[in-house]
Amino acid sequence: MRLVAVVLAVAVFAASVALYCDFIVSNYSQLWRHTDEWVYRAAGLLAQQHPADLYRTLMGEPGKEQLPFTYPPFAAIVFGAFSWLSFSAWQLGLEVLGVILLPVIALLALRIAGHRGWRAAALALGLSAVTLWMEPVYWTLYYGQINLVLLALVLLDFSLPDSCRWKGIATGIAAAIKLTPLVFIPYLLASGRVRAGITSLLTFAATVLLGFVVLPTASAQFWTSRSAQGAGGTQKMVDQSLNGVIQRAFHLNPPANTVWLVTAVVVGAAGVIVAAYASRRGLELLGVVLCGATGLLVSPVSWTHHWVWCVPALALLAVGHARPVRPAPMRRRDRMLRAGGTALLLGVFFGWPDHALSVGPHSAWFPEGFLRRVPHGQIGKTEWLEYTWRGATWLLGNSYVVSGLLAIAGTACYLWATRNRPAGPARGGVADSGPGTAAVGDPAALSGLGPRPGRAGTGARTA
């Protein structure tokens, strides 16, 4: 039975990947672009050859739109280690890495939730077959982005038990490549893991110091001016951050910046507090997903492909946290919440087929989320269709942001309503055969019913 389940899961994932490859090959000229990968490779070359020009030069595919490099200097150092490869090798390598990372990410998410063994592996493959077609994942692969790599680093960190001395390092490295994962440092501190939080902060600080040693001029430019510059394109539909929503509402007029700063502080604090409380309740995956969504909400810009946190979110809703070996029956309310949450997540983030891609004289199926069905684009020198959104169109055009805010508010209400329930399993995805511990691969209620084998910081958790 186990072998059959694993083989079936492998076959489903392989079929999904084969369909994706066929789709890319059939529409090669339109889909094999990897716009951002041009910037990564060019930044790596500049860091080695003309480091002072790293943040002064526009980069990109010859004859196409040229873009600035917006990542920290440490990222340029990392990209420089692979700059000797041809761009074709970059394209193929990052595409294959992204597809391979999908089941790894799903498995890490399930591990954080307390699931282990062959069932977790089979579930991870099945989930990956679906998440490959979710819009943030699809567009990450299309642009040649590194969002899946950063997500894997963070989840790898949180899959480690709190007693592990290395916990925090991978998150610090992810934040050094792209600043958004910095939100996990206050999350670690607020959830009582001070050592891991300090480790993450020191790791990040070490990468900043390395940047000043290797790229002193570029580092001075980034940390004194470039990092403080406003993000461009926030009026566009594809910017799904609080800043994007506010800038569109104010038509990019000056009051928007002040409103965004106040809103970002309030939402950021609320998101981290709710996520930390979920973690203290033993719902670590819920806390990690909420913290990741909070980082996307308060970031100055969060393009749609940054929202790859929908992958562990789907694992959370579809499988849940591990329950005790002999769990109480899942409450009807919990089943309804998880079913409704899964439907909402897929509705918002899945790339539904649409005749949107022109290939010669024909039109091909192209996966697009409902978000892209709203009117969008520039209609004048200073006017955009995004400024005309009202009512349902506004909700759909900002659906990623609305979903993130609903997740924070809904979780806060749920945790308060269930505050008298026993805590869930220990953090770090620990499960053993003792009474009251998490059952490997057992589908679970979102509430994480059942006693925790040990409190945070005790010897009850093992690697």
Q: Phi first, then psi: give them for residue 190, nearest 5 degrees.
A: -70, -25
CA dihedral of 425, 427, 429, 431, whole degrees rounded to 10: -40
The pLDDT of residue 426: 63
Question: pLDDT of 357-413, one tens digit each?
Answer: 555 545 566 778 889 889 999 887 788 999 999 999 999 999 999 999 999 999 999
The pLDDT of residue 287: 97
DSSP 425: S
Q: What is the DSSP string of 23-75?
A: HHHHTHHHH---HHHHHHHHHHHHHHH-GGGTTT--B-STTS--B---S-HHH
The pLDDT of residue 445: 39
Whether the Cβ atoms of residue 54 and residue 218 lie closer than 8 Å to each other: yes
Residue 430: CB atoms within 10 Å: 23
Whether the Cβ atoms of residue 282 and residue 425 lie closer than 8 Å to each other: yes
Whether the Cβ atoms of residue 428 and residue 161 lie closer than 8 Å to each other: yes
DSSP 331: P
Range in 147-151, 429-433, 443-447 the model is least confident about: 443-447
The pLDDT of residue 382: 81
Exposure string for 63-80, b = 16+ CB within 10 A, e = fewer: eeeebbbbbbbbbbbbbb
The pLDDT of residue 165: 93
Range in 81-90, 223-232, 254-263 the model is least confident about: 223-232
| Distance, CA of 422 to CA of 278 (rounded, Å) | 12
Spacing of C-alpha 354 from chain mean position: 25
| Distance, CA of 284 to CA of 278 (rounded, Å) | 7
Question: pLDDT of 325-343, one tens digit each?
Answer: 444 556 777 778 888 889 9
In angstroms and rounded to an integer, the radius of gyration of the C-alpha atoms of the chain is 22
